[in-house]
Amino acid sequence: MLENLKPPKRSYTCKVAQEADKLEAPDKDIFLDAVADPKWKYKTLQNELAKYNIYVVDTTIAKHRAQACACYRD
């Protein structure tokens, strides 16, 4: 009867993904490309995004870029 019992899949995301989901294309693509681009320093990107009312701190950007955030956990 319980052969298929499995824990539910987590569906947590970090602030980067949450902010990306609020944007429409092409802004979403530009945002995610900037987050992934190592030419952007974390703090500089944080400050530039804030000018557009997108508030993501540098440590969150760093974790997302390193795939060490909630988006990449099982």
- The ranges assigned to domains in the chain are 15-72
User: Does residue 7 register a pLDDT over 90?
Assistant: no
Q: Whole-model pTM above 0.85?
A: no
| Tokens found for residue 37 | 């681009």
Residue 72 has pLDDT above 80, yes or no: yes
| pLDDT for position 24 | 96
Q: Does the pLDDT at position 1 exceed 90?
A: no
d(CA 66, CA 54): 20
Asked if the model's pLDDT at residue 34 lies above 80, the reply is yes
How far is residue 40's CA from residue 34's CA, in Å, rounded to a whole number?
7
Which helix or strand (DSSP H or E) is residue 62 part of?
Answer: helix 58-65
Whether residue 8 is predicted with pLDDT greater than 90 in this model: the reply is no
Phi and psi at 58, nearest 5°, equal -60, -35
Q: What is the pLDDT of residue 73?
A: 82
